[in-house]
């Protein structure tokens, strides 16, 4: 009895700590922000697939028409992938303000975006394609002509070449796009936190009196805190540029972003460990996103967003981006957390338990679209020890095996973010840019998971029968 109490105490403490981590306001805001912007990533994935898979098939013999049609996808990528960091910084500010119950949440969108832009480098090195020069030396605004870079290079000393051009008044997509997402997270959270703190100081509010429209009053109430917050970031940007010759975005990219992405791709082990705890938590009745949604899914989402940008540019996916959020959604969450769709298949084929078959019938349609709360709470998985084992084991197994197969080159890496509700088989084909081998692997996964779930399902049903018999005996004794 003492042992059971000790186990219950451990599980209670584990659930309590996990809930506190999941409800931490900054982590929760980060999760909410990624959930808010995920539609633009999905749109970008669809555009990338159409541009790089569908259009080349249709216009294979007409490169001019192909180039014209691909402008559509390139424009969408420009407004989504290439601008994703700026969008995310504003949304993070808004979500943090809402979670902190700050009244003027829309002003935090302004703060997040403005602070991010302030911390970007004020000059960049751009790749030189051609040089424009005025036809009238006395009038720089005169009609310009294009001079190839090769001609400019002839004016340089021997053994010198043009490798880039210093540019001002421009932003690099490396920082406004996917490579700037970590910077957007840190700056968005930090700037909004400072702004909300300053906004709570009454002495910094401007009282315009009664009769002033609320929108005008709100703007003046936040004016001084907004100016102070952005001034702090302006000073930091100037100090980094003048004293260190760098900028915060570069520092974050090299010292934080790269190591964290490297940790996720050092192997599947870190992802497996976190998803083990997350799915175990789900078995205790607390949604797995409480852990995985705040600890690793933002990082894994950044990696698949990187892959979409790389695939859109026609470049090969680097090996250190093989592990990403789409591997999880497509290959390790078939039918939802725990891959419970295969448990439903087992139930229809092998089960003799009417109650289980009834739950399976109700859960099948949502399960096809990877929604499995009816299974988890109705079958149930929660506090059902026999089914808890495959529920945790199967996703871990599929994460590791899919990563291995990708590294071996047996299936293509994921290059598109597709909706998590996309049914199995279609999801594998889309996520890998049309690789049929990924669909074959999903078929193998379905069969393998059914084989793993089957003995545990039978044990669970036997346990249910014994429990029912025990309850009946107690009822008879009570009579």
Output 132 or 416, whichever has higher pLDDT.
416
Structure tokens at 295: 């600890």
Question: 254-313 pLDDT, tens per residue?
Answer: 888 778 777 776 678 888 988 888 888 888 777 776 667 667 888 888 889 889 989 988
Burial 358-374 (b: 16+ CB within 10 A, else e): ebbeebbebbebbebeb
Tokens 């059914």 belong to which residue? Answer: 450
Distance in angstroms (rounded) separating the CA atoms of residues 35 and 333? 17
- Does residue 424 register a pLDDT over 90? yes
- Does residue 425 register a pLDDT over 80? yes
Output 308 or 124, whichever has higher pLDDT.
308
Q: For all residues of the chain together, what is the average pLDDT?
A: 83
Question: 297-315 pLDDT, tens per residue?
Answer: 888 888 898 899 899 888 9
Q: Characterize the bridge pairing of strands 123-126 and 165-168.
A: antiparallel
Cβ contact 453:394 at 8 Å:
yes
Tell me which residue of 109, 248, 251 sits closest to 192, measured CA to CA.
Answer: 109
pLDDT at 38: 86
Largest Cα separation within the chain, whole Å, is 109
Phi, psi of 166 (to 5 degrees): -70, 125
Average pLDDT for 131-138:
59
- Does residue 449 register a pLDDT over 50? yes
Average pLDDT for 87-101:
94
Average pLDDT for 229-244:
93
Residue 194: beta bridge partners? none
> Using a CB cutoff of 8 Å and minimum separation of 24, what contacts does 455-463 make?
456/386, 456/387, 456/389, 456/390, 457/343, 457/346, 457/347, 457/350, 457/351, 457/356, 457/386, 457/387, 458/350, 459/386, 460/384, 460/386, 460/387, 461/351, 461/352, 461/353, 461/356, 463/386
Q: How confident is the model at residue 214 (pLDDT cuts 50, 70, 90)?
A: low
Give me the half-sphere count of Cα atoms (radius 13 Å) on the Cβ side of residue 81.
Answer: 28
pLDDT at 162: 65
Query: How far, in Å, are 28, 282, 286, 287, 290 from residue 19 at the CA level?
Result: 11, 11, 8, 9, 7
- pTM comes to 0.75
DSSP character at residue 166 = E
Q: Characterize the bridge pairing of strands 130-136 and 165-168.
A: unpaired
Question: 156-200 pLDDT, tens per residue?
Answer: 677 676 666 676 767 777 788 878 888 899 999 999 999 999 988
Output 394 or 22, whichever has higher pLDDT.
394
Output 467 or 107, whichever has higher pLDDT.
107
Output 125 or 238, whichever has higher pLDDT.
238
Give percent of the chain above pLDDT 70: 79
Output 262 or 429, whichever has higher pLDDT.
429
> How many residues make up the chain in this entry?
479
Tokens 């029912």 belong to which residue? Answer: 468
Question: 324-350 pLDDT, tens per residue?
Answer: 999 999 999 999 889 999 999 999 999
pLDDT at 1: 44
Lowest mean pLDDT among 21-25, 277-281, 317-321, 461-465: 21-25
- Does residue 140 register a pLDDT over 60? no
Distance in angstroms (rounded) separating the CA atoms of residues 23 and 19? 6
Can you give the residue ranges of every domain in the chain?
11-121+173-257, 127-164, 267-471
Residue 165: beta bridge partners? 126
């Amino acid at each position: 009895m003492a042992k059971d109490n000790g186990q219950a105490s451990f599980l209670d403490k584990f659930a309590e700590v996990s809930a506190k981590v999941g409800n931490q306001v900054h982590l929760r805001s980060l999760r909410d922000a990624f959930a808010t912007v995920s539609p633009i990533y999905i749109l970008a994935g669809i555009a990338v697939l159409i541009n790089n898979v569908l259009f080349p098939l249709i216009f294979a013999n007409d490169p001019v028409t192909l180039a014209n049609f691909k402008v559509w996808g390139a424009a969408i990528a420009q407004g989504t992938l290439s601008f994703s960091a700026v969008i995310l910084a504003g949304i993070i500010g808004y979500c943090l303000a809402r979670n902190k119950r700050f009244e003027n949440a829309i002003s935090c969108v302004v703060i997040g975006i403005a602070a991010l832009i302030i911390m970007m480098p004020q000059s960049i090195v751009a790749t030189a394609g051609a040089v424009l020069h005025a036809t009238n030396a006395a009038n720089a605004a005169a009609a310009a002509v294009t001079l190839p870079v090769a001609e400019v290079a002839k004016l340089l000393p021997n053994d010198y070449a043009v490798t880039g051009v210093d540019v001002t008044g421009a932003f690099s997509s490396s920082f406004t796009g996917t490579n700037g997402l970590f910077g957007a997270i840190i700056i968005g959270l930090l700037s909004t936190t400072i702004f909300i703190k300053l906004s709570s100081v009454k002495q910094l509010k401007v009282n315009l009196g009664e009769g002033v429209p609320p929108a005008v009053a709100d703007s003046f109430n936040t004016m001084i805190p907004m100016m102070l917050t952005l001034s702090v970031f302006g000073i930091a940007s100037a100090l980094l540029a003048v004293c260190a010759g760098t900028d915060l975005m570069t520092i974050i990219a090299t010292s934080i972003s790269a190591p964290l992405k490297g940790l996720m791709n050092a192997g599947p082990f870190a992802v497996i460990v976190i998803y083990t705890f997350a799915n175990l938590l789900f078995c205790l009745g607390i949604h797995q996103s409480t852990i995985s949604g705040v600890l690793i899914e933002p990082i894994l989402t950044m990696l698949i967003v990187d892959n979409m940008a790389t695939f859109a540019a026609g470049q090969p996916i680097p090996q250190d981006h093989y592990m990403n959020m789409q591997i999880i959604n497509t290959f390790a969450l078939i039918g939802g957390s725990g891959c419970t769709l295969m448990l439903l298949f087992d139930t229809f084929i092998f089960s003799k338990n009417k109650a289980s078959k009834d739950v399976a019938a109700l859960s099948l349609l949502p399960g096809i679209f990877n929604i499995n709360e009816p299974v988890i709470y109705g079958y149930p998985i929660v506090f059902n020890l026999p089914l808890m084992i495959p529920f945790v084991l199967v996703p871990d197994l599929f994460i590791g095996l899919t990563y291995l197969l990708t590294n071996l080159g047996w299936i293509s890496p994921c290059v598109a973010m597709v909706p998590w509700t996309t049914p199995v088989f279609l999801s594998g084909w889309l996520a890998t840019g049309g690789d049929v081998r990924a669909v074959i692997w999903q078929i193998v996964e379905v069969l393998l998971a059914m084989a793993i779930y089957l003995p545990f399902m039978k044990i669970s049903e036997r346990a249910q029968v014994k429990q029912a018999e025990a309850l009946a005996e107690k009822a008879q004794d009570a009579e």
